[in-house]
Amino acid sequence: MPQAMDLAPTGAPADPQRVKELDDLTTALNAQHGEKKSLELLDIMINDVFKDKIALVSSFGTEAALLLSLVSKVKKSTPVIFLDTLKHFPETLEYRDDLIKTLGLTDVRIIKPEPSALKATDPDGDLALRNPDACCYLRKVVPLEEALHGFDAWINGRKRIHGGSRAALPRMEHDDRRVKVNAIATWTQEMIDEEWEKQGLPEHPMVQWGYTSVGCMPCTSLPKPGEGKRSGRWAQFDKQECGIHSLDSKWDDTSGGGI
């Protein structure tokens, strides 16, 4: 039976020529557009530089409505990829559907992990509790790589204020395969709050209960007092990211053993 690793091209060695081209391209894009306001930057990336070859990847989490709203103002038919890991809170799925309707998004693609890979690698559905890196690879990294096939760039909502590995985010970077547009990387919390109120954006239902970052159910808890907004993510593990933003995202141990 196929294993998760069999489905992913992410572990293949990067093409040095492609990496060089992406290095040059992102350097040029940052020099030319890195200081532009987010809406203008998105317009240029979506309607010019990567016309018909760019997608937005959204978790429909606690801050997702902001970027989704900006993209909808530029082009409502921009492809939006949602990774349905089959482990999301019901509130997230309801919020996703509400935002799609509210913002008029017309091309939201709901991507799920391959059933045969789930059966082979996580038959009991408890892999997240034993090996969260393996679970993220199976349910997020592999499906996303397949969903992004044919795209030259993708937009995401990471911000420098999240801290950790995100503290020095450039506006444009790459993952050895395609360009990543960090359109709102420079936004402060004050900017987010002001724009949120200005647009009258709806909150994720779990914000009212104190959640400041929401992912999958097994790996999401309330933030730790005095720590960052993402401190409730994988709180019981030495882990900060799901893997879709890591160049070396791969997992080649099908035992599901702990790490």
CB atoms within 10 A of CB 127: 23
Cβ atoms of residues 175 and 145 within 8 Å = no
- In the prediction, which pLDDT does 12 show? 61
Domain positions in the chain: 4-209
Paired residues of 172 in beta bridges:
181
Q: CA torsion, points 73, 45, 61, 214, in degrees to nearest 10?
A: -160
Residue 108 per-residue DSSP state: E
Per-residue pLDDT of the chain (259 residues; tens, 9 = 90+): 223 333 334 456 778 999 999 999 999 999 999 999 999 999 999 999 999 999 999 999 999 999 999 999 999 999 999 999 999 999 999 999 999 999 999 999 999 999 999 999 999 999 988 888 888 899 999 999 999 999 999 999 988 887 776 778 899 999 999 999 999 999 999 999 999 999 999 999 999 998 888 889 888 878 777 666 666 555 465 545 545 655 444 333 322 222 1
Cβ atoms of residues 129 and 218 within 8 Å = yes
- In the prediction, which pLDDT does 215 show? 87
- In the prediction, which pLDDT does 136 show? 87
Euclidean distance between CA atoms 80 and 56, whole angstroms: 5
Q: Which residues of 183-217 are buried (b: 16+ CB within 10 A; e: fewer)?
A: bbbbbeeeebeebbeeeebeebbbbeeebbbbbbe
- In the prediction, which pLDDT does 83 show? 96
Among 99, 112, 110, 111, which Cα is nearest to 64's? 99
Euclidean distance between CA atoms 65 and 100, whole angstroms: 10
**CATH 2.40.240.10, applies to 4-209:** no
- In the prediction, which pLDDT does 218 show? 84
- In the prediction, which pLDDT does 44 show? 98
Catalytic sites, residue numbers: 242
Q: CA torsion, points 198, 96, 80, 248, in degrees to nearest 10?
A: 110
